[in-house]
Amino acid sequence: MQNQLSHIKVAVDAIVFGYSKQDGVSVLLIQRKYPPFKNSWAIPGGFVLEHESLETAVKRELEEETGITVNYLEQLYTFGEPERDPRQRVIAIAYFGLVKASMYQELKASTDAENAQWFSIKKLPPLAFDHKQILQAAIARLRSKIRYQPIGFELLDKKFPFSDLEKLYTALLDKDINRRNFSKKILSFDFLEETGEVSKPDGKGRPSKMYQFNQKRYRELLKEGFHFEI
């Protein structure tokens, strides 16, 4: 095997989720400029360079195509059916990323991102290749993972009112949540801390305390055998 060449190409894709109170959970898509599927919406991604790690490749492609930097990234699944790309055999290692609400707002301003756009996961456009299937796998991962790992905080701002967290969970889990029991449960975990600030009420109602996720405390709890579960 003297550096043989392969007929199979290796690509990475990035399914990036963002959140806002107005639009709920959204995913970042780009519009294709060239055939096949010209002008279709697609998941950002591209081919892996010979000496670059898979994660580096995802981050690079994401930066090039959308200008976005994620604050959470994990491997999702590898899609490799022989016919998934009509041109030639391409296997795609899909990654799952999250960005904070502040980054979500910034996309509009970026110049790299002229053909990148957020789509609410409730109103998705038709997608190129097998990207519908990939996106569905990512949404399933997000929905299940948010129940046993505190990744919800990666979608909110650093400091947030408690109701934001509750709205996020309501948006992702279908059943509606009992406000009282939800707050009792989350606060009993003891990894949220009050910042001392309060939110100015937008319009009406009592202002709420601002909280932030204490990552260090969470890691300590994990070491003690703690298990997060909603």
Partner DNA sequence: TCAAAAGTGTTTCACTTACACCCATGA
Partner DNA sequence: TCATGGGTGTAAGTGAAACACTTTTGA
Interface contacts to DNA, rule CB under 7 A: 161-163, 178-181, 183-185, 188, 198, 200-201, 203-209
Binder among 38, 39, 52, 198 for a second copy (CB under 8 A) = 52
* Alpha-carbon span 74 to 44, nearest angstrom: 15
Which is nearer to DNA, 95 or 213 (by Cβ)? Answer: 213
Instruction: Select from a second copy, DNA, none the partner in contact with residue 89, using the beta carbon and a kind-dependent cut-off of 5 to 8 Å.
Output: a second copy
User: Which residue's CB is nearer to a second copy, number 30 or number 210?
Assistant: 30
The reply to whether 223 sits near a second copy by the rule CB under 8 A is no
DSSP 75-96: EEEEE--TTSSSSS-EEEEEEE
How many whole angstroms separate alpha carbon 71 and alpha carbon 94? 16
Q: Which does 219 bind (CB under 5 to 8 A by kind): a second copy, DNA, none?
A: none
**Shortest Cβ distance from residue 123 to DNA (Å)?**
23
Please identify, using beta-carbon distances, which residue of 38 and 184 lies nearer to DNA.
184
Please give the backbone phi and psi of residue 87, each rounded to the nearest 5 degrees, phi first.
-80, -50
Sole binder of a second copy in the list 32, 60, 89, 143 (CB under 8 A):
89
Instruction: Say how far apart CA 204 and CA 63 lie, in whole Å.
Output: 39
Alpha-carbon separation of residue 112 from 18, 30, 100, 116, 126 (angstroms): 18, 11, 19, 8, 23
- C-beta of 185: minimal distance to a second copy in Å? 17
Nearest CA to 66 out of 114, 8, 98 is that of 114
Taking alpha carbons only, the member of 46, 40, 43 closest to residue 10 is 46
Residue 184 binds which entry of a second copy, DNA, none, with Cβ cut-offs from 5 to 8 Å by kind?
Answer: DNA
224 binds, among DNA, a second copy, none (CB under 5 to 8 A by kind): none
Q: Does 9 bind a second copy (CB under 8 A)?
A: yes
In one-letter notation, the amino acid at residue 133 is Q
DSSP state of 201: P
Separation of alpha carbons 74 and 91, rounded Å: 17
Stretch that binds a second copy, among 51-59, 118-126, 150-158, 192-200 (CB under 8 A): 51-59
Residue 87 binds a second copy (CB under 8 A):
yes
What is the binding site for a second copy (CB under 8 A)? 1, 3-10, 47-48, 50-54, 75, 77-78, 80-82, 87-89, 91, 93
